[in-house]
């Protein structure tokens, strides 16, 4: 279990006397860290293998499933597959800190919930088995998520919440609730109880409400962490806050679209579901990738150099160039009946002239994106001037 945070304003006040960038020394036993690290890595490998098996079943075994449904499930599982790879790297390279392992554990079990629910559905497993796997992985993912949100990259203190100028700092009932759930014991009791009751009720509204409450609490904790932290803390937390915000916004949009399109045709509802689920999967993978590989939230070792990004971009451009050239050459030959060599030479010249400025424009766009995206160092003075005293 994650150790509960300090439970008094007095303790929070004493802790705030530390220098801003100073972090308390971790008291987590090395054996516990090592065991959790290996658990996350093994679980990530299992998730990767299960995701690959699920994709094979979707496209090879259950070919009678409608195409939009298979696309939707493939995007869903594909996003979880990428998540599993990122989680494995985090545990492997940055598993020496409990905050990193808490985040990695949350994503690992959330990925297991996504992947195994789809896998068991493809295998047409017994409903009792599917419910047991779904409930257990959901509880573990949600519990670790809330604990990590209040402890990454440092423990939130009651003082941080009480001194916040937002609504949850000013309204006493909200403040009391958020301080109460800084305790890991309170988090696990709430997650276990709420998840079991909502899942057993089979009420979709209660199930979605439970999900929204958990993500909203994590979003608030990340926000308080961002507002009360130093520049280093803000840099690490920003993209995780964005991850929760995007997931919550798209979930609400998905629920709203489902309510509006309730009486629409099945095709319209499936298309909208595919688009929104795909957008959520892509956005979540993007946010976690930016946190790990751009902002270095877990470890500077995992930050990807710009030269690597440029190299991958050029590789994609070359692939696109070759694909377009082959397609257009075949089209020209079929329509104009000219020789393959003449069409290839003509098109190669035209695309060659266009390729260089396109490459330069994309590199310029990447440089501008890298210099402007979420720079907490430069943006923090305008975003917030609040510092706990």
Distance of alpha carbon 206 from alpha carbon 194, whole angstroms: 9
pLDDT of residue 13: 38
Residue 244 in this model has a pLDDT that exceeds 50: yes
Per-residue CA distances from 337 to 324, 330, 344, 349 (Å): 19, 10, 13, 19
Q: How far is CA 339 from the centre of its chain?
A: 50
CA-closest candidate to residue 94, choices 304, 303, 298, 305: 298
pLDDT of residue 354: 65
Mean predicted confidence (pLDDT) in 98-113: 90
Which residues does 298 contact at the CB level (< 8 Å), separation at least 6?
A: 90, 93, 94, 100, 103, 104, 291, 292
More confident position, 56 or 7: 56
pLDDT in tens, 346-365: 666 766 666 666 666 666 66
pLDDT of residue 10: 34
pLDDT of residue 179: 93
Query: What's the whole-model pTM score?
Result: 0.72
Residue with tokens 């203190």: 157
Of all residues in the chain, what percent carry a pLDDT higher than 90? Answer: 31
Mean predicted confidence (pLDDT) in 70-95: 87
Contact 310, 363 (CB under 8 A): yes
pLDDT of residue 178: 93
Residue 371 in this model has a pLDDT that exceeds 60: no
Question: Which two three-digit tokens encode residue 242?
Answer: 């964005």
Domain boundaries, the chain: 9-302, 306-383
Cα 277–Cα 91–Cα 86 angle in degrees, nearest 5 = 30
Burial class (CB in 10 A: 0-12, 13-18, 19+), 357: exposed
Question: Which two three-digit tokens encode residue 384?
Answer: 């917030």
């Amino acid at each position: 279990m994650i150790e509960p945070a300090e439970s008094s304003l007095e303790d929070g006040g004493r802790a705030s006397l530390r220098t801003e960038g100073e972090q308390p020394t971790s008291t987590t036993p090395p054996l516990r860290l090592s065991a959790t690290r290996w658990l996350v890595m093994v679980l990530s490998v299992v998730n990767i293998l299960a995701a690959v098996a699920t994709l094979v079943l979707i496209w090879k075994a259950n070919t009678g499933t409608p195409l939009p449904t298979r696309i939707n499930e493939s995007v869903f599982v594909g996003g979880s597959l990428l998540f599993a790879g990122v989680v494995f790297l985090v545990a492997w390279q940055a598993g020496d800190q409990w905050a990193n392992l808490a985040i990695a554990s949350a994503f690992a079990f959330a990925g297991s919930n996504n992947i195994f629910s789809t896998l068991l559905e493809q295998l047409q497993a017994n409903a009792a088995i599917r419910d047991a796997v779904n409930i257990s992985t959901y509880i573990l993912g949600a519990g670790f998520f809330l604990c990590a949100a209040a402890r990454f990259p440092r423990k939130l203190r009651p003082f941080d919440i009480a001194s916040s100028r937002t609504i949850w700092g000013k309204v006493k009932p909200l403040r009391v609730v958020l301080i109460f759930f800084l305790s890991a014991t309170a988090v696990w009791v709430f997650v276990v109880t709420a998840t079991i009751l909502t899942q057993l009720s089979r009420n979709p509204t209660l199930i979605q409400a439970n999900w929204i409450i958990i993500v909203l609490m994590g979003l608030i904790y990340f926000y308080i962490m961002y507002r009360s932290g130093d520049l280093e803390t803000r840099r690490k937390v920003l993209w995780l806050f964005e991850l929760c915000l995007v997931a919550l916004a798209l979930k609400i949009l998905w629920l709203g679209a489902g309510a509006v399109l309730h009486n629409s045709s099945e095709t319209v509802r499936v298309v909208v579901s595919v688009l929104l689920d795909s957008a959520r999967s892509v956005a979540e993978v993007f946010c976690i990738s930016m946190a790990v590989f751009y902002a270095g939230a877990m470890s500077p070792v995992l930050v990807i150099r710009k030269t690597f990004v440029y190299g991958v971009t050029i590789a994609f451009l070359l692939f696109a160039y070759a694909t377009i050239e082959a397609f257009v050459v075949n089209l020209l030959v079929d329509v104009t009946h000219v020789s393959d060599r003449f069409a290839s030479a003509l098109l190669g010249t035209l695309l060659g002239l266009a390729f260089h400025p396109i490459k330069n424009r994309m590199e310029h766009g990447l440089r501008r994106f890298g210099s402007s995206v979420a720079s907490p160092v430069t943006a923090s003075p305008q975003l917030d001037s609040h510092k706990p005293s």
